[in-house]
Amino acid sequence: MDRLESMSTLLAAVETGSLSAASRKLGMPLATVSRKVSELEAHLRTRLVNRTSRRLTLTEAGRAYVAACKRILDDIGEAERAASGEYAAPRGDLVIAAPIVFGRLHVLPVVIAFLKTYPDIDVRLTLADSVVNLQEHDVDLAVRIGELPDSSLVATRVGAIRRVVCGSPDYFAARGTPKRPDDLTKHDCITFHGLTAPDHWQFREGKSALSVPIHSRLTVNTAEAAIDAAIASVGVTRVLGYQVAGALRSGTLALVLEAFEPAPWPVSLVHAGQGLLPLKLRAFIDFAGPLLKAQLAA
């Protein structure tokens, strides 16, 4: 069994969604595709895929193995390109993940400029507020906001983001402007579930941490919904600074309790960093890092 060829065949089947689609993509008989996947399973003594008449799904062992196959084949491809001198021109597909609003406001403009500079690199940008597992989703690089847990990931810090409390001028005119965090007990709050707890918010006074109970009049699962509700004078909300930059400029929202904000959260570019770093990834880090730092420092 040619293990590398079998890995490539398995990866093609997973990426296309079926053995028959992999057969067409590779120009290989369907029976040969099926045999190569079966040989891998026999070699590993475990089932990698569940086959149906229309589609193919990975088992838990298969997900881990396919992620490893992709890294191995990418490393081999990069090594071969390095040996042949292809490193003079970065190329290939680059998969990037970022939070929704931050990605649209900050990452997308950088990606657009990057594509113009590197015509042989294609980018797939996935925007989601959930933390994406790089290996499971075949992501080359992710933008993370917040403190990073200890892991094998390599991180490059590009700035920091404030956690701000804000409301509409009309709301504050009707209900009063909170001067201290504990004033929030007298206010209606809008909780963005992905950022804060629904019953208390954290603040800082000097070196001391403050936990203030709040009443969530409305709880939502996206920052955009929380911001829209705050603009509509439903209550006070807490979001990340960049998410309300436009509303602050237009005057539809105003900041409060700035002196009590907790420490800003770091913004980092993270990647697996295992083995030979693909040139396409190194090119993006070198290109995007300074631009994002400049944007976040502004």
Q: Which residue has the higher pLDDT, 275 or 43?
A: 43
Q: Give the C-alpha separation, 244 to 32, whole Å.
A: 55
What class, spelled out in words, does domain 90-154+267-297 have in CATH? alpha beta
Structure-token match 């084949």, residue found = 73
Read off the pLDDT of residues 162-189 as tens digits, 9 standing for 90 and up: 999 999 999 999 999 999 999 999 999 9
Q: Give the C-alpha separation, 12 to 56, whole Å.
A: 11
Task: Give me the pLDDT at residue 150, please.
Answer: 65
Q: Is there a common fold for 3-83 and 90-154+267-297?
A: no
Element (H, E) at 8: helix 3-16
The CATH code of domain 3-83 reads 1.10.10.10
Q: Give the C-alpha separation, 275 to 272, whole Å.
A: 9
Q: What is the pTM of this model?
A: 0.64
3-state DSSP assignment of residue 232: coil
One-letter amino acid identity for 150?
A: D
Element (H, E) at 298: none
What class, spelled out in words, does domain 163-260 have in CATH? alpha beta
One-letter amino acid identity for 114?
A: F
Read off the pLDDT of residues 95-145 as tens digits, 9 standing for 90 and up: 999 998 899 999 999 999 999 999 999 999 999 888 888 877 889 999 999
Element (H, E) at 124: strand 121-127
Residue 85 in this model has a pLDDT that exceeds 60: no
Among residues 102, 118, 210, the alpha carbon closest in space to that of 159 is found at 102
Q: Give domain limits for the chain.
A: 3-83, 90-154+267-297, 163-260
